Structure 1
C-alpha cells in the first residue's frame, strides 16, 4: 500500500525524522493531538538503536515509580542531576523533570503503552541517587496484538545482524517499546510511517524550516510541514569521517547502533542552515568485546575476570557502570583484554549483546586460551611477569574481600550483577582467577551512540550560533546534544530524555495552530500506513 501524500510535494502538519523511542513518542503525541504526522525512517525497519536496547526509561517521579512504592520524586532526581551536572543546562533539566511525569501519565492513558518498574541502580554515588534504580521498562508485547506491524520493528541486534526476524513469542525490551509506541500511534488515525526515506536536506521558506528532502528507492521526494520538523534519528556514530573530524574515539565498526542508520545526515543538513552544535567529541560509552567479524558486543555486568591494559595491569574497577568503564578504557593503554578462568566453563563471565559463541571467538583469535598465565600473556602480547603479578595481587584481594586498587564491589551497582556463589571471599565481585585453563577476550571502546549534536533549548528548538531558535526546526535524542553533558546518570537516560524532548517539541509546534489541527469531526486525517516505500 502507498500513501500518495508522501510523494513529492506532500504536506503534513508534523514531520518526524527517525523511528526510535524519542521519534515515535513525538509522533504519537502529535498524532494523538490531531496533527497530521508523518514519520520518515531511513532504513526498512523501525526502532534504530532503541530496538536493540533493554528499553530502560529514566523518567523520574512518575506514576510507574509510585505504583512500585519506590519513594522516588522529581525533587530527588533534581538533587541527583544537580550533583552530577551542576546548573549547566538547568533550563533543559527543569523542562525534563517537569514534563516526565505528565508524559508518562499521558502515554499510559493509551492501553497500548504499559510500563513496569525494573530494578537497575543509578550509576553514580551522589545525593538523590536511587540505589535500587528509578528506571522502568515496557511490558512484553504479544506479536499478535501488533499484527502485521511487527515485521517493521527492528529485531534484537544478534538476529538483525544475521538478517533474521523476530523469534516466536512476545516482543520484549526495546522491541516492545517500539512496538507499543507504533501501535498507539497507528490507532490515532493521524500517523503515517514511511520507511526507506533517507532525509538529506532541509527545506526553508519565509524564514523557517518548512520541510525535508528525502531519497527513496523511487527517487528524491520533498515532504513539507505546516508546523515543524523534528529530527530524532540518532547521532553520527556510524560515520567514520565525522568521528575523525570531531575527535570521537573508538570506531564506527564497534558502535552498537545499526550500521547503516547513523551517518550524520541530519547534523550536516542542520549545520548548513547555521545550527549550533555541542559535545561533538562525546558518546554514550561502553566496553565492547570484539567479535569475529570485527564488530563489537556491548559488554556489562561482569561476574568475574579482570580487565588488563597493554602492560598487563588493571586500570579500573571492572564492575563500573558501562559508560564510566568505557571512559576508563578510552584513557587506558590499549589493546585491553578481559582475562578470566574456567569456572564459567569457557563462557565469558559477563552479559554481552549480542551473545558470544566461545568456539567461534577462539577460532577467530579475538579470544585466546592457555593452560598457564605466562602462556596467555604471550598470546596477548603483555609481559608475563606483569600479568602473573596482577592476577596474584587480585587473588589476594579476593580472599580479603577488598580491592584497595580500584574499590570493586563497594558500590550497589557493582554488586547488582554479582553472584555470591562465584566468590569464596566476602566480596562477591572479587572472584579469584585460579582455575586453568585461562582465557583472554579482546576489549575495545564501543558506544551506544554519539552524545553530541545540535544545540537545543528547553522546548527542543534547534538553536543557531547566536542562541536564537531556528523557526520550524526541532531535535531530540542523539541528534541533539544531551543536557547531561559528559555524565551518564542512570540506565535509560538516553531514551528517557529523547522521549521527553520529542514530546516537548511537538507541543511547541502545536502552539501557533492551537485549535486548527484535525481534519474532521473526530480529528482523523487519514488511514494509517506503516509500510515500506516499495509496498
Structure 2
C-alpha cells in the first residue's frame, strides 16, 4: 500500500511527488508514456512571476495587484481570481526561489503582449531542464517512477480514493492501493474529436491542428469523470496562429508550432498583411488569423533565419533547447506547406497568391525597413533588428490555427481536492496541472497571458502534493 499514487509525470505530477515525499510519504508515480515529462519536457517553461530578483536586477517595478489586473483583463469573467491571486502572491517564493534551490537559473525576462511590465521568466534548460531537476530530486527522496502503465480507473470506496487500476505495457492488469491519489495527466489538445465535441465553435474552422504533447488525449479527464468529478470551462481551448501540419502525421491533424522567426511578414489569401507579426501568440495574433478568409496565412521570411527556427509539438524535429539542423532540413523538404523561391514574384506564383499584391506588400515593408523606421506604418510592428525581405532565397510557411492548451478541467478547491458533481469533496483525490485547467479548474479563463500555464501547473502540483500528505496526516 502506497501513501500517495501520482498519475502523470509532467511538472505538476513531479512537483506533487516531491512535496509528498519531502513530508514523509511513500510515493509512486505512474506514467502512461515510455518517458517522463509529458508536455512539460517539450515546453519553453516561461513563468509569469512577480517581485523576483531578476525583475529587481532589471529595475522592474511590479506587484501582485498590477499582475492580477492584467491576468483578469485578459482572461475574462471565467478566470479563477482567487487561484490567480494566490499563485501570483506565492510565485517568487514557491516557483522562482524554489526552482533556484533545485539548481535552475532564470536566464531571461520578457514582456509579451498583455503584461504591463516585464514579468515572464524563462529558465535555463527550458521545461526539460526543470523536469530533469525534479526527477532527480524525486528519486533522491525515494519516489518510485514507473513508465508504460496506463491507469484506467481511480478506485473510490465509500466516497474516498483508495488507489488505481492500471494496465502494463505487457497487458498485465494491476491494482495499486493508495491512501491518496493525485491526478496530473495533462490536457486534451491532442484529441481532435474531443476538442470539437466540447467546443462546437471549432467545428467551423476549415482546418484546426492539434499541437502540444502527443499524449495529451484526455485520459485523466475520463478517469476523473468516472470517479464522479465535476468539470468546468472545457470549451476554453487555447490556439496559436503559427501552426503548420506535421509531415510525420498521416492523419493531417497533428501540427507543429513554428517559433524563432522574427523578421517575417504574414500574408492572407489576398496577399496582404493583416497583423503586427510580433504578436504571434494566442491573443491578438490568433484573433487576427481567425478573421482571415479560410483562417490561414503565409509567413514570408529570409532563408538566413532558418537556423533559428524551432518546431514545437514533435520532439523529432527539435525542442526549445536542442535543434538538429539535419532534421530541420528534412522537415523543409518533406512539408507540403513550405515553399522556397528567389523573390516575392516567384514565391507568390508557387503558393498561388495574387502576384501584384504580394509584390506590393513586400515592397512596402522593405521600404520601411530601408528607411530606418522604428515601426512599420501599416501595423506598427517593431522593425528593430529586422532585415529587408530579399532574394536569392525567400521562404514561405503556411500557417493554420493550432490548439496547444486546454484551459478548463476538473474543478478543485484551493487545496487541489477534487470536487464531485454535487459540490462535495472526494476524499483522498487531488488534481493539478492542465487536467485541472492549470489550477482549480480554470485559473486563466478563456484567454491567457504568456507565462501563465507552466507556472500554475508547477505551483498547483506542489499544493496538491502537500495537501495530500496533510490530509493523510490528519486522518
- Residue 304 of structure 1: aligned partner: 263
Change (3 A) 1:25 1:307: same
Q: CA deviation at 1:268?
A: 1.6
- The 3 A distance-change label for structure 1 pair 378 and 320 is same
2-side partners of 1:37 and 1:64: how far apart? Answer: 34
Structure 2 alignment gaps of length 5 or more: 313-317
For 1:135, which of 115, 121, 128 is the aligned residue? Answer: 121
Name the structure 1 match of 2:188.
236
Matched, 1:91 2:44: no
Query: Residue 118 of structure 1 aligns with which residue?
Result: 107
Please tell me whether residue 221 in structure 1 is matched to residue 177 in structure 2.
no
Write the distance in 2 (CA, Å) between the matches of 1:69 and 1:515.
45
Indicate yes or no: 2:422 matched with 1:470.
no
User: How many Å separate the matches in 1 of 2:471 and 2:375?
Assistant: 61
SS of alignment partner, residue 312 of structure 1? coil
CA distance in 2 between counterparts of 1:467 and 1:405 reads: 52
Measured after TM superposition, the shift of residue 431 of structure 1 is 3.7
Aligned length: 444
Q: Which of residues 35, 48, 63 in structure 2 aligns to 1:58?
A: 48
Deviations 1:222-260 (A, max 9, x none): 22221x221112111222221221235787864131x2x
Task: Work out the CA distance in 1 between the residues paired with 2:117 and 2:107.
Answer: 12
SS at structure 1 position matched to 2:456: helix
Judge conservation of contact 1:65–1:117 (CA < 8 Å) in 2. no
Q: Normalising by structure 1, what TM-score?
A: 0.74
Residue 301 of structure 2 corresponds to residue 340 of structure 1: yes
1:84-134 CA-to-partner distances (Å, cap 9, x unmatched) read: 346741221232234334424883585xx12322223232345xx333x34
Distance change (3 Å), C-alpha of 1:407 and 1:284 = same
2:472 match: 513
Matching residue within 263, 273, 281 for 1:314: 273
Shift of 1:40: 0.7
Could you tell me which residue of structure 1 aligns to residue 384 of structure 2? 428
Which secondary structure does the structure 2 equivalent of 1:119 belong to?
Answer: strand
Q: How large is the RMSD of aligned CA atoms in angstroms?
A: 3.0
Superposed CA deviations along residues 472-491 of structure 1, whole A, max 9, x for unmatched, are 22221111123111232233
How far has the Cα of 1:25 moved from its partner?
A: 0.7
1:498 is aligned to 457
Following the alignment from structure 1 to structure 2, what is the Cα–Cα distance between the partners of residues 358 and 100?
40
Q: Give the direction of change, closer, same or farther, for the CA distance of 1:362–1:335 in structure 2 (3 Å limit).
A: farther
Return 309-318 or 41-50, whichever deviates more. Answer: 309-318
Name which of 37, 40, 49 aligns with 1:47.
Answer: 37
Inter-partner Cα distance in structure 2 for 1:374 and 1:382? 10
Offset at residue 437 of structure 1 (A): 4.0
Structure 2 residue matching 1:30: 3-state secondary structure: helix
Which whole-Å CA distance do the structure 2 matches of 1:471 and 1:76 have between them?
36
CA distance, structure 2, for counterparts of residue 391 and residue 270 of structure 1:
52
Q: Name 1:418's counterpart in structure 2.
A: none
Task: Name the residue aligned to 2:350.
Answer: 379
Contact 1:49 1:256 in 2 (8 A): yes
Distance in structure 1 (CA, Å) of the matches to 2:256 and 2:148: 27
| Range with bigger deviation, 205-214 or 77-86 | 77-86
Secondary structure in structure 2 of the residue aligned to 1:377: helix
What residue in structure 2 maps to residue 395 of structure 1? 366
User: Could you say if the C-alpha distance between residues 503 and 213 of structure 1 is closer, same or farther in structure 2, counting changes exceeding 3 Å?
Assistant: same
Please say if residues 197 and 215 of structure 1, whose CA atoms lie closer than 8 Å, have aligned partners that are also in contact: yes
- Of 26, 34, 50 in structure 2, the residue corresponding to residue 36 of structure 1 is 26
**Residue from 273, 288, 295 that aligns with 2:243:** 288
Say if 2:208 and 2:401, in contact at 8 Å, map to a contact too.
Answer: no
- 1:306 and 1:348 map into 2 onto residues whose CA distance is 18
TM-score (norm 2): 0.83
1:483 equivalenced with 2:443 (yes/no): yes
- 2: CA distance between counterparts of 1:279 and 1:396? 46
Q: Which runs of 5+ in 1 are unaligned?
A: 1-10, 139-171, 410-426, 517-535
CA 1:175–1:270: 2 relative to 1, 3 Å: same
Q: Distance in 2 between matches of 1:26 and 1:65?
A: 28
Q: Which residue pairs with 2:315 in the alignment?
A: none
Q: 1:363 to 1:56 in 2, by over 3 A?
A: closer
Aligned pair partner of 1:452 in 393, 401, 408: 408
Give the conservation status (yes or no) of the 8 Å contact 2:190–2:212: no
